[in-house]
């Protein structure tokens, strides 16, 4: 059973993701090269496994790119546990997804601020930080942030755990002025690890 | 209520971890500067939150450094979800822990092999790889590995998700000849992301 949905390619000429409606790459299969706002409109009730063949993608809990976010890089994701973070609010849904426009690692650059609206102490990041506190950031929170170049994943806990927030220079003009802009699921400004995204 | 257990310091002159028997840094509190083989022998039935003040540590599901492993870097871990990976087998226990001896990021070096006993294709790693497949490794498995310098976390799924395996040049002479040596909880050789550990 193979269905291919080709569409005009957006930012990623060769970004490809294959999704399945059953665990371990079983059941109905669809291949995408551009964003999907609602997998149910393609006749699938949910996505239970997937393979990223090319590019970097973000998966979302709800349709229209809402709810929890999951960074999806090249590789095999055989079950829900493989895309989720380690959240207490455990979801088993991925209904929409889209490709991300990244930069080369060496060009990626963002600034974190202590307070909302780019106020207070600040720190410029251009690397991967499994612990912001280890690099000298004294808080377990980030009040606001600005992405100058590329795309980053920010995580609630150290070591790339907990809620994920995908931040891009191409969204909001790269400005995230308070934690409510980090994602529709953000409940606090708690962020303790950050890394770059690359294809 | 504060209890401090000082002990002869091993590899990390200033490594410090504070553990609590209740979530959100509540309840009984103990501070450690060296390894703990069984928190129950210190009169705590479990660890439900913790703060790493300095150094990098590994937490274990069972006593004597057995069962699931969790990398713990500087920062605040208010609940189980903040130390666990995104595993289907969800545990709510951390009974032993120890500090890890790391290297500087620029010195960290390891080799992954396609087959057991350092056979088949190989690839030398000296960076962080959220997707091994994106760097050209065609498998979603690693048959064996050798750590030449430093310490690494290997993960079952891309993007630093799933089971964690802590690999050190100082353990087993840095040699992990088959997946059963990756950890007592390893059930398959599936490894899709790897990163360096640094204090």
Nearest neighbour of B159 by CB, restricted to A71, A88, A156: A71
- The predicted-structure confidence for A36-55, as pLDDT tens digits, reads as follows 999 999 999 999 999 999 99
Measure the CA–CA gap between A54 and A34, rounded to whole angstroms.
12
What pLDDT is attached to residue A13?
52
What pLDDT is attached to residue A20?
97
What pLDDT is attached to residue B199?
72
Average pLDDT for chain A: 89
Q: In this structure, are A93 and A117 located in the same domain? A: no
What pLDDT is attached to residue B62?
93
Please determine, for residue A97, whether its predicted confidence score (pLDDT) is greater than 50: yes
Nearest neighbour of B79 by CB, restricted to A80, A88, A198: A88
Which of A88, A133, A152, A161 to probe by mutation at the B interface, max B CB count within 10 Å? A161
Please determine, for residue A5, whether its predicted confidence score (pLDDT) is greater than 60: no
Mean pLDDT by 10 residues, chain B (199 residues): 37 78 96 95 94 95 92 95 77 92 86 97 95 92 96 96 93 93 90 92
Question: How many CB atoms within 10 Å of residue A18?
Answer: 16
> With an 8 Å Cβ cutoff, are A82 and B193 in contact?
no
Is A4 a domain residue? no
In B, what residues contact A, Cβ < 8 A?
Answer: 52, 71-77, 79-88, 128, 130-134, 140, 153, 156-162, 192-193, 195, 197-199
Is B72 a domain residue? yes
Q: In this structure, are B116 and B93 located in the same domain? A: no
Is A6 a domain residue? no
User: How would DSSP label each residue in chain A?
Assistant: --EEE-----S-TT-EEEEEEEGGGEEEEEEESS-BS-GGGGT-S---EEEEEES-EEEEEEGGGEEEEEEE-SEEE-SHHHHS-S-SS------EEEE-----GGG-EEEEEEETTTEEEEEEE-S-BS-TGGGT---SB--EEEEEESEEEEEEETTTEEEEEEEETTSGGGEE-SGGGT-TT--S-B--EEEE---
The two three-digit tokens of residue A37, written as one number: 């706002």
Nearest neighbour of A192 by CB, restricted to B71, B75, B128: B75
The two three-digit tokens of residue A42, written as one number: 């393609």
Is A145 a domain residue? yes
> With an 8 Å Cβ cutoff, are B75 and A195 in contact?
no
Is B11 a domain residue? no
A143: alpha, beta or left, given left = phi > 0 and alpha = psi -120 to 50?
Answer: alpha
What's the ipTM? 0.85
pLDDT band at A91 (very low <50, low <70, confident <90, very high): confident
Closest-approach residue (CA) in chain A for B137: A75
What is the mean predicted confidence (pLDDT) over A10-18?
69
Domain finish residue from B99, B122, B149: B99
| pTM of the shown model | 0.88
Q: In this structure, are A90 and A113 located in the same domain? A: no
> With an 8 Å Cβ cutoff, are A133 and B74 in contact?
yes
What pLDDT is attached to residue B7?
36
Measure the CA–CA gap between A28 and A40, rounded to whole angstroms.
12
Query: Nearest C-alpha of chain A: how many angstroms from B131?
Result: 6
What is the span of the domain harbouring residue A137?
A: 109-196
pLDDT band at A183 (very low <50, low <70, confident <90, very high): confident
> With an 8 Å Cβ cutoff, are A84 and B86 in contact?
yes
Q: In this structure, are B84 and B129 located in the same domain? A: no
Domain finish residue from B99, B117, B142: B99
Number of domains composing chain A:
2
Please determine, for residue A8, whether its predicted confidence score (pLDDT) is greater than 60: no
Please determine, for residue A12, whether its predicted confidence score (pLDDT) is greater than 60: no
Q: In this structure, are B41 and B83 located in the same domain? A: yes
Measure the CA–CA gap between B121 and A88, rounded to whole angstroms.
39
- State the sign of the Cα–Cα–Cα–Cα dihedral A185, A191, A192, A193: positive
pLDDT band at A86 (very low <50, low <70, confident <90, very high): confident
Q: In this structure, are B119 and B185 located in the same domain? A: yes
Residues in chain A with CB shorter than 8 Å from the CB of B73 are: 130-131, 134, 158-159
What pLDDT is attached to residue A10?
40
Q: In this structure, are B166 and B191 located in the same domain? A: yes
- The predicted-structure confidence for A124-162, as pLDDT tens digits, reads as follows 999 999 999 999 998 899 999 999 999 999 999 999 999
B37 touches B64 (CB < 8 A): yes
Higher pLDDT, residue A88 or B93: B93
Determine the length of chain B.
Answer: 199
Q: In this structure, are A117 and A94 located in the same domain? A: no
Q: In this structure, are A53 and A115 located in the same domain? A: no
Residues B3-12 as b/e (b if ≥16 CB within 10 A, e otherwise) read: eeeeeeeeeb
Is B116 a domain residue? yes
Is A9 a domain residue? no
CATH of the domain at A91: 2.60.20.10
Query: Nearest C-alpha of chain A: how many angstroms from B12?
Result: 15
What pLDDT is attached to residue A88?
62
Is B163 a domain residue? yes
Domain finish residue from A99, A123, A150: A99
Per cent of chain A over pLDDT 90 is 75
> With an 8 Å Cβ cutoff, are B195 and A128 in contact?
yes
Which residues is A62 bridged to in the sheet?
A66
What pLDDT is attached to residue B15?
87
What pLDDT is attached to residue B37?
95
What is the mean predicted confidence (pLDDT) over A176-197?
93
């Amino acid at each position: 059973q193979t269905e291919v949905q080709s569409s005009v390619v957006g930012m990623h000429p060769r970004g490809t993701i294959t999704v399945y409606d059953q665990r371990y790459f079983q059941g109905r299969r669809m291949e995408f090269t551009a964003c999907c706002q609602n997998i149910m409109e393609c006749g699938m009730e949910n996505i239970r496994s997937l393979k990223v063949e090319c590019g970097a993608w973000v998966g979302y809990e709800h349709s229209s790119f809402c709810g929890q976010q999951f960074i999806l890089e090249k590789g095999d994701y055989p079950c829900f546990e493989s895309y989720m973070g380690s959240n207490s609010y455990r979801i088993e849904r991925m209904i929409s997804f889209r490709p991300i426009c990244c930069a080369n690692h060496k060009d990626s650059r963002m600034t974190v601020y202590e307070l909302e609206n780019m106020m207070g102490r600040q720190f410029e990041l251009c690397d991967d930080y499994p612990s912001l506190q280890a690099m000298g950031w004294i808080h377990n929170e980030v009040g606001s942030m600005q992405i100058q170049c590329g795309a980053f994943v920010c995580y609630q806990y150290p070591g790339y755990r907990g809620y994920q927030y995908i931040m891009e220079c191409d969204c909001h003009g790269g400005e995230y002025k308070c934690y409510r802009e980090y994602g529709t699921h953000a409940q606090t400004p708690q962020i303790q690890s950050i890394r770059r995204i690359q294809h």
